[in-house]
Structure 1
Amino acid sequence: MQSTAIPSTVTPPEVVRARVAVALLFIANGMGFASWVSRIPAVRAPLGLSEGELGSALLCMAIGGLIAFGPTGHGVQRWGARRVTLWVSLAYGALLVLPTLAPNGWTLGLALALFGAANGAMDVAMNALAVEVEQRVGRPIMSSLHGLWSAGGLAGALLGGWLAHQSVWPGWHLAGVGVAAIGAVLWARHWLGGHIGEVHAAEEEAPRWARPEAALAGLGAIIFAAFLIEGAMADWSAVYLNGALGTTQAEATLGYSVFALAMMAMRFAGDRLVLHWGAVPMLRTLNALAGVGLAAALVSGSLAVTLPAFALTGLAIGTVAPLVFSAAAQRSRRGAGQGIAAMATLGYSGFLIGPPVIGWLAQATSLQVALGVLVLLAGVIAALAEHLAPAVAAAPAVSVDEAPAQRL
């Protein structure tokens, strides 16, 4: 994939439109996913599913996503990021309502596998497309796009909570969000013109299933560790506050809330920080501080120390996914789609593996000891941060007599 310097003082209109179009896709994906998550209890209730049956159905969604990563990367390399992104995004919007129509547990699992595959495919494709738009813009935008995904998720969760309070059937709710997502895709289609998202020749033939390249092992370890931390925080932060620290259930929700809000804020600020601070020192410093903060929180057992430590952890890993995806897309010998697919596979594997591993360790020792693994993982990210250096160095060059591109 070749970088293109912009020989103008103003970002070309087609690049501006492409950036807005990709932003719409990230928002639509985040809002759709959070809308589904917010209505899980309403979908579960009429089916009478136990915790184990619901967990099995939800696992099908994760498996569907993992299966879709590799073929999507292959498709991006063969047909281009623009075409693949638009098709899988339409499928995502159409399938969003499907889980609400399931009459029993096993059909719910099948519906979630299909929706999970569409979600995973859209994740890979739109990130590959975003990397190309980022190169056209000529400065980092990946972090802010992931921030928009988080903002879309927050909006979807709030909307889902309000509609649940109004006793709106989840089928109508998710069908409406799905139609809105399809509308966003059709709008984005007209704004993704020119050569953005076209097919690019790779140095190596792209395999049909994504597998990490040896040269990207460091990036893979970073995203695996970061997603493992995120999965553990999502599933165990409230349990830790309620159990080990003795907070109320309402207070326990603050654990993940401060983590998620800090991560979203970091994604919106991340592009500017990377531009002025650099990806390597930023990631190294924040994860070193997060490791120290988590260690202090686990030792002290104080809520006043724990909540800031959780927020610092959100700041530390907030930009990992956009930075690693961008670096892998630029450095993969098999093409951007395959590079992102391989990193997504490793990242989501960590997200899935993290919570049960923490649970097993907690059962053998204690939850405080088990969460100490997160301290070690933050240290791993800090130690391996230098693997992002080539991606930073590969940013498009602008000649001395060229003024910086106007901000969107």
Structure 2
Amino acid sequence: MSTLVAAPPRAARIATWVYFGVNGFAIGLWVVHIPNIEHATGITHSTLGLLLLVLGGAAFLGMQVAGPLADRVGQRRLVPASGVLLGLSLFGPGLTDSWWTLGLTLMVLGFANGSLDVGMNAHAVVVERAYPRPIMAAFHAMWSIGGAIAALIGAMTLRADVPTEVTLGACGALLVVVSLMTGRFLIEAEVPEEHDEDDVPSSKPPAKLVWALGGLAFGLMLAEGVANDWAALQFRDVLGTSTSTAAYAYGAFAVAMTIGRFATDRVAAVIGAMAIVRYGAALAAVGLTIVIVSPWVAVALVGWALFGLGLAGGVPQLFTAAGNLDPRASGALMARVVGLGYVGLLAGPALIGGLAHWMPLNVAFILPVVLCVLTVIGAPVLRKPKD
């Protein structure tokens, strides 16, 4: 007797791709306009640094609010609402003329970003459950694609002297429309009132396991943050390259990470999440070690590419694991792990900057290497009980 298997929700999968792209696009558009906004408001670099902390703090708050809210009202309501708020929040930075008005707009932008981040990841876990293989990493790749598109649009509009408020406002309006139109294709998690022990845990997952997943996310995203902010500076200040050549360092990292995320799901279906995290972190440690010791630009480029490739698949596996610990509280659990990872993403560049005051930049990179090695050691927390 044949068994009928429900078709995977392809429309929901595509919609989730769109929201990841929307999130990456919005943040990328803000980043490329930072210099213009800084000039328009007349703030100093140090003030901008403090305001970026406000942005990060608001994002963390948004994550912690959105997680339990997603469990209460459902991702199908939360995700579009967060996308609309994110689009509307893009209007603000281009219209500000002082540090305090910019700070207020960044609070809204950060809160919306954090809310959408948790909501779309929680929904991605729901969609992935309906598929016979992993699909989470490709969603994260779409975030990178969204950021790349924002960089291209930002470069073209800046070159054409389009006012910042026009670019941000037009793109923000577009994101509002896209978020509203895409929301109808989202789905809700199906958790029966009476849970089967084999399908849904009867008790809350151990707090130590949640913290362990969050700790691994913290380490991997801290390493990613180091590459985002320090790769180009390492080429310029340590290897003595020109500014234009230095840009290739981050480019090698970002391209390798994006390609790796598109490939990770297929690999994870064969070797499992634990192996992706363990061997990926090991490859990242090797890649950054090459960067630390190599005096040659070509070899260091290979090191940055290996670093990006190694980090590509780990975080999506951790988010999936967190969302599947207890489907009844998927959003809240996701918020804790994503939140800790986000703290690492913010803390990494600052920690390296502090260490660089006391030691060469290359030596400071030993910190993310150590965290990658610790991830290799801690990866077995992803091992399923039946393994």
Q: What TM-score do you get using the length of structure 2 for normalisation?
A: 0.92
Alignment partners' CA distance in 1, 2:85 and 2:190: 20
CA contact (8 A) 2:20 2:120 kept: yes
CA gap of 1:355–1:334, structure 2 versus 1, over 3 A, is farther
Aligned to 1:215: 209
How far did 1:60 drift? Answer: 1.3
For residue 204 of structure 1, report the CA deviation from its aligned partner.
Answer: 9.3
Q: How many residues are treated as equivalent by the alignment? A: 379
1:31 aligns with 2:28: no
From 4, 13, 33, the equivalent of 1:7 is: 4
1:161 aligns with 2:158: no
Is the 1:235–1:355 contact (alpha carbons within 8 Å) kept by the matching residues of 2? Answer: yes
Query: Are 2:343 and 1:366 aligned?
Result: no
Structure 1 counterpart of 2:342, from 338, 343, 348: 348
Find the counterpart in structure 1 of residue 143 from structure 2: 149
Distance 2:180 2:357 in 1: 50
TM-score normalised by L of structure 1: 0.87
Alignment partner for residue 263 of structure 1, among 257, 267, 281? 257
Aligned equivalents of 1:340, 1:113: Cα separation in 2: 22
- 8 Å CA contact 2:62–2:112 kept in 1: the answer is yes
Larger RCO: Structure 1 or Structure 2 (Cα < 8 Å, ≥ 6 residues apart)? 1
Superposition deviation, residue 190 in structure 1? 2.2
Distance 1:197 1:102, change over 3 A: farther
Q: CA RMSD in A?
A: 2.3
Residue 198 of structure 1, CA deviation? 6.3
SS of residue paired to 1:301: coil
Partner of 1:376: 370
The match for 2:196 is: none
Letter of the aligned partner of 1:214 in structure 2? K
Match of 2:57 in 1: 63
1:386 equivalent in alignment to 2:380: yes
**Cα separation, partners in 2 of 1:186 and 1:199, compared to 1, 3 Å:** farther
Amino acid at match of 2:333: G
Alpha-carbon separation, structure 2, partners of 1:355 and 1:325: 22
**Separation in 2 of the partners of 1:160 and 1:199?**
43
1:89-146 Cα offsets, whole Å, 9 max, x none, are 1111111111111120111011101110001000001111111011123321111111
327 and 172 in structure 1: CA distance in 2 versus 1, 3 angstrom threshold: same
Asked if the contact 2:276/2:313 (under 8 Å) is kept, the reply is no
Q: For residues 203 and 339 of structure 2, what CA distance do their matches in structure 1 show?
A: 19
**Residue of structure 2 equivalent to 1:322:** 316
Residues 292 and 23 of structure 1, relative CA distance in 2, 3 Å threshold = closer
Secondary structure of 1:364's match? coil
Equivalent AA in structure 1 for residue 15 of structure 2: A
| Equivalent position to 1:297, from 291, 297, 305 | 291
Shift of 1:294: 2.3
Residues 203 and 11 of structure 1: is their aligned pair in 2 closer, same or farther, counting only changes over 3 Å?
A: closer
Amino acid corresponding to residue 317 of structure 1 in structure 2: L
| Equivalent in 166, 171, 179 of residue 177 of structure 1 | 171
Does the aligned pair in 1 maintain the 2:83–2:116 contact within 8 Å? Answer: yes
| Aligned amino acid, residue 11 of structure 1 | A
1:273 CA displacement = 1.1
The whole-number CA distance in structure 2 between the counterparts of 1:224 and 1:377 is: 9
Q: Residue 390 of structure 1 aligns to a residue in which SS?
A: coil
1:187 is aligned, of 176, 181, 184, to 181
Deviation at 1:81, TM superposition (A): 1.5
Query: C-alpha displacement at 1:46, in angstroms?
Result: 1.8
Amino acid at match of 2:114: G
- 3-state SS in 1 of match to 2:97: coil
Pair 200,112 (structure 1): closer, same or farther in 2 beyond 3 Å: farther
In 2: Cα distance, 1:200 partner to 1:320 partner: 30
Contact 1:100 1:171 in 2 (8 A): yes
Residue in structure 2 matched with residue 400 of structure 1 by the alignment: none
Q: 1:189 to 1:303 in 2, by over 3 A?
A: same
**5+ residue gaps in structure 1?**
1-5, 207-211, 395-408
Distance in 2 (CA, whole Å) between partners of 1:145 and 1:76 is 19
Q: Which residue of 2 aligns with 1:129?
A: 123
Provide the residue aligned with 1:405 in structure 2. Answer: none
Cα distance per residue 1:201-231 (max 9 Å; x no partner)? 797999xxxxx93222321121111111111
Does the aligned pair in 2 maintain the 1:57–1:106 contact within 8 Å?
no
- Contact 1:143–1:322 under 8 Å retained in 2: yes
Which residue identity is paired with 1:173? T
Unaligned runs of 5+ in 2: 194-199
